[in-house]
Amino acid sequence: MSKNSQFTPTELHHWQLTLAEANRHNIFCHCRHCEAEWVDSSEEAACPHCGSKNIERIACWQFPDD
């Protein structure tokens, strides 16, 4: 464990699992073709508006709540 870590190895593992779970179910999607935006749990989904596969995906946990 790093001297600078604020987590025990068990806590760090739990935190990483929590982030992985959030990533699997809360993906902000932006279609580069038609500019549509939506939240999805699939990393392979096409745009529901135009069918494009040219999608930018960002994990929602990266956005502030306010």
Record the tokens describing residue 37, joined without a space: 């935006």
Q: Which residue type, as a one-letter code, is found at position 49?
A: H
- Give the span between the Cα atoms of 38 and 55, in whole angstroms: 11
Q: Where are the alpha helices (DSSP H) in the chain?
A: 9-25
Closest-CA residue to 23 (of 57, 53, 59): 59
* CA 30, chain centre distance (Å): 12
pLDDT of residue 33: 97
pLDDT for 7-58, tens place per residue? Answer: 899 999 998 888 777 767 788 899 999 999 998 887 788 999 999 999 999 8
Which of the two residues, 63 and 31, has the higher pLDDT score? 31
Structure confidence at residue 59 (pLDDT): 80
pLDDT at position 5: 74
* pLDDT, position 41: 81
